[in-house]
Amino acid sequence: MFWCSLCFTLSILAHHVHLETSSNLTSFKIHSEPLREYSKCNKFTKSPTIPTITPRELETKDDPKTKKLSCISTPTTCKKEPYRSFDGTCNNLENPSWGAAKEPFAELVNNSYADGVHQFPETSEKEQLPNPRAISLLVFPPKNIIDFKWNLNTMQWGQIIAHDMSFSGRTTLINNNPVTCCDIKGHLTSDSAKNPFCAPIIIPVNDVVNKANGRECMEFVRTVSTKDIDCTSSKSPSFPISEVTAYLDLSLTYGNSRKQADSLREGRGGRLKVIKRNGGTWPPQAANVLQTCSGATTADEPCYVAGDARVNQNPQLTVLQVILLKEHNRIADTLSDINKHWDDETIYQIARRILIGITQHIHYYEFLTIFLGEDNMVRNKLIYPNAKGYVNDYNKNVNAAILKEFSTAAYRYFHTLIRGQLRLFTEYRFPYQSIRLSDWINKPSILEKNNGYDGLAIGLSFEPQDKSDQYFDLEITQYLLKGNQTLGKDLRAIDIQRARDHGVANYINLRSYCGLSIPKNFNDLCDYMSIKNVKALKSIYKRVEDIELSVGGSLEKHVPGTLVGPTFLCILIRQFYITRVGDRYFYENGEDKEIAFTLEQLETIRKGSSIARLFCDNGINIKSMQRKAFELVSPWNPVVSCDQLPFVDLTLWKDTKEEENSKCKDNV
Ligand code: HEM
């Protein structure tokens, strides 16, 4: 491990000394420019102001482009239903497909495809963009600086949100033949040149570690788009498809279609299916272990099924998925105790509604404030900290679809928070095991051994996350999905390539959309970036117009009180605004009494929901937790007994009216 890290560092150094080599695909040239031109960089002091969302800015009602882009056959008229659908249809009654699963992503700024339709973007001089792996090596190197305030759970909950909102369509959406463009050993396959879905990342010459291992590529398969499912014509711009609903509706727990949801239900007491094994309660076992869990070595080891296909991706993610599953059943059991006359369907739907309410509250008031800053959220009407009653901000003209700029650039920046080594802790916060992330990808069996589930859960709350910065852990930039090989993939390079695949607009266009200053040359970038990063960008791109959003946005200095720079902050604020006001079932909305919580129920969700409580209620033997469980333990945030934490009072869902009716009927 040490030796490989050393090789890697050498490769970066080698890279720096090779800046003057010829091919723009493999290395970069610093264009000579006198240092004094960057004098502005040293003067950076004031923080940029992100223009507040204007009332009609994000309405899409009259936009014909958005209107015609409906790819699934949705009902032409929707009935008002008390519960949200599983596939997200009919959340918006006038535009039934808005926010639904298997619908296209949306965009803030027009695509950057070379042909305006689907071809990978090019530079302004019509050349191929620089190699994504080479960019990753140069500007996103490994350096493990840890966060002094936020714990690993903050990173992990972030991934839960990502999986609830977005899943770039896999080729299995259109047929059952998975595509391989670059095999596990890093060799190009026969498909790589001829299959239109293939866009493998070529290993650049100066990537000495991969070259030394004889690897020539990293796997990359293009996302299924509207063009592939005949939803857009061959001449109009294509849009990538997302497999999951855009809403924060816990589709990762409940599924994205009625059929999938039904398959996950026990069929009694409103409960979700679980299995008991090795002293714990787990999601159902997958039918084909070796296929579903690529990291599994035997066909009978633990491998789970949930509402989202990525449930087994990494062990801490799986811990949170299990917590959400167990919380549903905990709520369902309480509801059946207090409402003996309720049937399976009623208990299931009300428990689902409560759990979605609890998690939406955690997302907006406990989690997002860390990333976006409470003031920015209040100013842009994303949260209402002093609200006593309902917040009726639903806007039927807002499409809650996921923005490409969000899921393919801004939100992926938080891959920076990932840590490569995970430690497991006892209840007394004593570390007893340490694991390497890349050894446990798609291999959740660790949860069921050696107190793994509780040990990882406490580790999430006790260990710091990596700092939000331009440095990424080697476990995800060198070893991701390595399987039984020595080397794996580079998530940062994939993120850059994915943004090209999705035709995400360039960095400057987004700055312009966001009302930020528009750089005319590299020197102008100094308003938001360090001189070192401006120089690096100048070595990568010939012109400032060529800078990609996923690269430029990740190099900005952070807006104080947030974990991102101004351009990504603008995008994140807009996404979480439309996710909220475009969701008719959002938990604070009280306009439709059939959907809304009562005021007392809403109040208890506001007071009693916390990430700490979820850990306490759903561990196997977790007895204590700090109150702010996204924040590290400190004298101001000590570990306390679970009994001391507020909770959601489920007795407020006791259905006295119905109970009296049924008693009355019995007596008659
Ligand atoms: C150990 C933790 C994580 C791992 C191993 C991981 C890995 C991955 C992988 C392999 C992809 C697919 C890349 C592609 O082919 O395009 C992905 C996508 C993504 N990740 Fe992560 N990720 C992690 C944590 C996070 C976190 C903390 C966030 C945000 C806070 C995040 C946000 C996203 C988003 C938005 C996508 C795109 C989803 C889609 O539309 O398909 N991830 N991640």
The two structure tokens encoding residue 480: 């991701």
Nearest CA to ligand 1 atom 18: 412
Look at residue 4 in the predicted model and tell me its pLDDT: 36
Ligand 1 closest atom vs CA 156 = 27
Give the integer Cα–Cα distance in Å for 245 and 636. 38
The two structure tokens encoding residue 186: 């890093």
pTM: 0.93
Look at residue 77 in the predicted model and tell me its pLDDT: 86
Report how far ligand 1's centroid is from the alpha carbon of 482 (Å). 16
Only one residue has tokens 């291992």, namely 213
Report how far ligand 1's centroid is from the alpha carbon of 515 (Å). 28
Report how far ligand 1's centroid is from the alpha carbon of 392 (Å). 32
Nearest CA to ligand 1 atom 31: 159
- Ligand 1-lining residues (CB < 6 angstroms): 155, 158-159, 162, 166-168, 313-314, 407, 411-412, 414-415, 417-418, 476, 491, 494, 498
Report percent pLDDT > 90 for the chain: 85
What average pLDDT score do residues 436-445 get? 97
pLDDT in tens, 289-334: 999 999 999 999 999 999 999 999 999 999 999 999 999 999 999 9
Sign of the C-alpha dihedral, residues 485, 487, 490, 494?
negative
Per the CB < 8 A criterion, the answer to whether 465 and 417 are in contact is yes
Helices (H), 272-403: 289-292, 315-338, 344-361, 368-372, 374-379
Closest CA to 419 of 138, 133, 131, 158: 158
Which phi and psi angles does 430 have, rounded to 5°? -105, 125
Report the 10 Å Cβ neighbour count for 207: 28
Residue 52's alpha-carbon distances to 56, 58, 225, 369, 569, in angstroms, are 12, 12, 32, 16, 11
Report how far ligand 1's centroid is from the alpha carbon of 45 (Å). 33
Known catalytic residues? 163
Give the range among 66-70, 92-96, 355-359, 598-602 with minimum mean pLDDT: 66-70
**pLDDT over threshold 80, residue 164:** yes
Ligand 1 closest atom vs CA 242 = 40
Per the CB < 8 A criterion, the answer to whether 270 and 346 are in contact is yes
Determine the residue type at 17.
V
Nearest CA to ligand 1 atom 24: 159
Place 69 in a pLDDT band, splitting at 50, 70 and 90.
low
Place 32 in a pLDDT band, splitting at 50, 70 and 90.
very low
Place 358 in a pLDDT band, splitting at 50, 70 and 90.
very high
pLDDT in tens, 452-471: 999 999 999 999 999 999 99
Length in residues, the chain: 668
Closest CA to 126 of 465, 542, 535: 542
Ligand 1 closest atom vs CA 480 = 5
Nearest CA to ligand 1 atom 35: 407
Report how far ligand 1's centroid is from the alpha carbon of 169 (Å). 14
Report how far ligand 1's centroid is from the alpha carbon of 309 (Å). 13
Look at residue 61 in the predicted model and tell me its pLDDT: 53
Which phi and psi angles does 72 have, rounded to 5°? -105, 155
Nearest CA to ligand 1 atom 9: 491
Nearest CA to ligand 1 atom 19: 412
* C-alpha torsion 343→348→350→354, nearest 10: 150
What average pLDDT score do residues 124-148 get? 97
**pLDDT over threshold 90, residue 510:** yes
Mutation pick for ligand 1 pocket among 160, 167, 201, 415 (CB with most ligand atoms within 8 Å): 415
What average pLDDT score do residues 72-77 get? 75
* C-alpha torsion 446→448→449→450, nearest 10: 110
Look at residue 49 in the predicted model and tell me its pLDDT: 78
Tell me the three state secondary structure of residue 61. Answer: coil
Per the CB < 8 A criterion, the answer to whether 282 and 447 are in contact is yes
Residue 498's alpha-carbon distances to 126, 363, 449, 549, in angstroms, are 19, 26, 36, 12
pLDDT in tens, 403-428: 999 999 999 999 999 999 999 999 99
Mutation pick for ligand 1 pocket among 224, 403, 491 (CB with most ligand atoms within 8 Å): 491
pLDDT in tens, 49-64: 788 998 788 997 545 4
415 assigned ligand-binding residue: yes
Per the CB < 8 A criterion, the answer to whether 552 and 537 are in contact is yes
Ligand 1 closest atom vs CA 408 = 37
